[in-house]
Amino acid sequence: MSAALDTARRWARTEQAAARIGKSPRTLERWRGERTGPPYFKFGKTCLYDVAELDCWIEAQRRLPPPATEGSQ
């Protein structure tokens, strides 16, 4: 990778990305095959995740519990 690319993006390999989201590298590999999970770039045989995009994907997974209804205590 060129120096210009390194300053524009921070990259994570599959193992690093998996650790960041608390999953196994194998899970990320499976998700790639299923066309789900966080976005990634493929350079030859190497899959890289943009750390900023990975963080956005993590935030997008946030779910809030449904609001409590009256009388349900």
Mean local confidence (pLDDT), 24-52 = 97
Q: Strands 11-13 and 46-50: what pairing?
A: antiparallel
3-60 architecture in CATH?
Answer: Orthogonal Bundle (1.10)
| The 46-50 sheet, strands edge to edge | 11-13, 46-50, 41-43
The residues spanned by each domain of the chain are: 3-60
Rounded to an integer, the average pLDDT of 41-58 is 96
Coil, strand, or helix at residue 49?
Answer: strand
Global confidence as pTM:
0.76
Q: Which residue has the higher pLDDT, 4 or 32?
A: 32
Question: What are the start-end ranges of the E strands in 2-44?
Answer: 11-13, 41-43
